[in-house]
């Protein structure tokens, strides 16, 4: 019974630690920035309750990115007031209540707009239009401009309008827990690094050439030594098993081995006892190619 209670206490104590490891805490009061993608967001283009998307900008906590790339805030067009005909400037209010983390994790949050470029924002998060108080005052002080002022009264303003790519600054009102992605679990053993594979050129296969067939070819006519051409054909090495290998270069070492370069450029080494010396000399003489026991130039 005591062991069961002890295990239960350990599990309760470990629960907060495991939760902390699975989430990254963004404390309340943190400043977050996002970019509105909708063009010309205002009371003319949106009704109360319409959804509003705002792409989250890069945000770091403790030296690392807190939100994955592609995260965005989801909110709504909460309320607005158009500018008055005679007095009063327009305003609008945006509310964001959740964040979507790719590929599809939804995190609830409470955030308030605190700053918008070129527009004042009050303590309730309302975005106010700037209006033209100085211009209106100066124009009404000049009687000649009163007819123009009367014409402009119905379109007093302007109302606040958020253009595309407008960056909003928000304050997180409550602590926000962002799930931390387990990269090791997502990669799995399929992406385990493996040793690099080194390509090795395969050894050339023997060419099935019989000595008897080569002897059937008519011998080349003899020519004077002074006029003998430099052999351009590769040397044919005849094996004791009746097979043949074309070699562009060959030489003999002191250990009883024959080194030669195959036609594909691969170096080959074989024992001298595998070579049919007499057939090789006779066949190459018939082909007009010299063959001797002296090492060739490497």
Under 8 Å between Cβ of 31 and 171:
yes
- State how many domains the chain has: 2
Q: What's the domain range around 146?
A: 25-181
pLDDT value for 296: 42
pLDDT value for 191: 52
Which of 117-126, 197-206, 258-267, 278-287 holds the top average pLDDT? 117-126
Residue 3 has pLDDT above 70, yes or no: no
For tokens 């007499």, the residue is 278
Rounded CA-CA distance 256/239 in Å is: 15
Of 63-77, 199-213, 259-273, minimum mean pLDDT range: 199-213
What values do phi and psi take at 19, rounded to 5?
A: -65, -40
* Chain segment 210-239, per-residue pLDDT in tens: 555 554 545 545 444 344 444 467 888 888
E strand or H helix that includes residue 136: helix 133-140
CATH number, domain with residue 278: 2.30.30.100
| Residue 141 forms part of a structural domain | yes
E strand or H helix that includes residue 31: strand 31-36
Are 174 and 255 in the same domain?
no
| Residue 136 forms part of a structural domain | yes
Q: Would you give the end-to-end CA distance of the chain in angstroms? A: 86
Tell me which residue of 49, 173, 190 sits closest to 113, measured CA to CA: 173
Rounded CA-CA distance 202/149 in Å is: 92
Rounded CA-CA distance 257/252 in Å is: 6
| Residue 204 forms part of a structural domain | no
More confident site: 22 or 23? 23
Residue 266 has pLDDT above 90, yes or no: no
A 10 A CB-CB count for 170 gives 24
Determine if the pTM surpasses 0.75. no
For tokens 């070579």, the residue is 275
More confident site: 290 or 152? 290
pLDDT value for 298: 34
Are 177 and 233 in the same domain?
no
Under 8 Å between Cβ of 238 and 279:
yes
| Residue 12 forms part of a structural domain | no
Residue 15 has pLDDT above 90, yes or no: no
| Residue 160 forms part of a structural domain | yes
Are 217 and 168 in the same domain?
no
**CA dist list (Å): 25 to 15, 21, 62, 182, 278:** 16, 10, 11, 16, 87
Residue 283 has pLDDT above 90, yes or no: no
Rounded CA-CA distance 256/269 in Å is: 11
Residue 79 has pLDDT above 90, yes or no: yes
What values do phi and psi take at 290, rounded to 5?
A: -80, 145
More confident site: 103 or 1? 103
pLDDT value for 95: 93
pLDDT value for 148: 72
| Residue 239 forms part of a structural domain | yes
Quote the longest CA-to-CA distance of the chain: 126
Under 8 Å between Cβ of 176 and 32:
no
Residue 32 has pLDDT above 50, yes or no: yes
Rounded CA-CA distance 174/153 in Å is: 43
Residue 74 has pLDDT above 60, yes or no: yes
Residue 53 has pLDDT above 80, yes or no: yes
DSSP state of 190: G
Under 8 Å between Cβ of 140 and 99:
no
Mean pLDDT of 240-266: 80
Burial of 291 (C-beta count, 10 Å sphere; 0-12/13-18/19+): buried
* Chain segment 152-198, per-residue pLDDT in tens: 665 556 788 999 899 999 999 998 888 876 554 444 555 555 655 55
Q: What is the mean pLDDT of the chain?
A: 75
pLDDT value for 227: 43
Are 171 and 95 in the same domain?
yes
As a 3-state breakdown, the chain gives helix, strand, coil percent values, each rounded to 5, of 25, 35, 45
pLDDT value for 287: 81
Q: 66-92 as b/e, with b when 16 or more CB fall inside 10 Å? A: bbeeebbbebbbbebbbbeeeeebbbb
pLDDT value for 208: 57
Are 64 and 137 in the same domain?
yes
Which of 13-27, 49-63, 80-94, 108-122 holds the top average pLDDT? 108-122
Q: Which of the four pLDDT bands, split at 50, 70 and 90, describes residue 84?
A: low
| 213: CB partners within 8 A, 6+ apart | none
């Amino acid at each position: 019974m005591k062991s069961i209670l002890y295990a239960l206490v350990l599990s309760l104590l470990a629960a907060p630690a495991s939760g902390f490891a699975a989430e990254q805490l963004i404390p309340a009061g943190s400043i977050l920035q996002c970019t509105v993608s909708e063009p010309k967001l205002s009371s003319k283009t949106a009704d109360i309750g319409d959804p509003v998307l705002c792409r989250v900008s890069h945000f770091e906590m403790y030296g690392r990115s807190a939100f994955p790339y592609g995260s965005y805030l989801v909110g709504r067009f909460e309320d607005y007031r158009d500018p008055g005909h005679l007095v009063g400037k327009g305003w609008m209010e945006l509310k964001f209540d959740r964040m979507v983390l790719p590929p599809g994790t939804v995190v609830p949050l409470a955030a308030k707009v605190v700053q918008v470029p070129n527009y004042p924002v009050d303590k309730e998060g309302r975005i106010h239009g700037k209006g033209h108080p100085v211009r209106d005052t100066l124009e009404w002080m000049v009687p000649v401009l009163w007819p123009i002022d009367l014409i402009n009264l119905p379109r007093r303003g302007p109302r606040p309008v958020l253009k595309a790519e407008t960056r909003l600054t928000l304050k997180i009102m409550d602590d926000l827990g962002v799930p931390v992605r387990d990269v090791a679990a997502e990669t799995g053993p399929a992406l385990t690094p493996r040793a690099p594979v080194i390509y090795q050129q395969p050894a050339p296969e023997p060419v099935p050439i019989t000595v008897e067939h080569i002897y059937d070819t008519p011998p080349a006519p003899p020519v004077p030594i002074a006029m003998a051409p430099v052999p351009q054909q590769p040397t044919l090495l005849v094996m004791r098993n009746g097979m043949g290998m074309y070699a562009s270069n060959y030489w003999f070492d002191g250990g009883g081995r024959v080194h030669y370069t195959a036609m594909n450029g691969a170096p080959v080494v074989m024992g001298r006892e595998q070579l049919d010396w007499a057939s090789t000399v006779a066949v190459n003489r018939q082909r007009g190619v010299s063959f001797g026991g002296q090492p060739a130039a490497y």
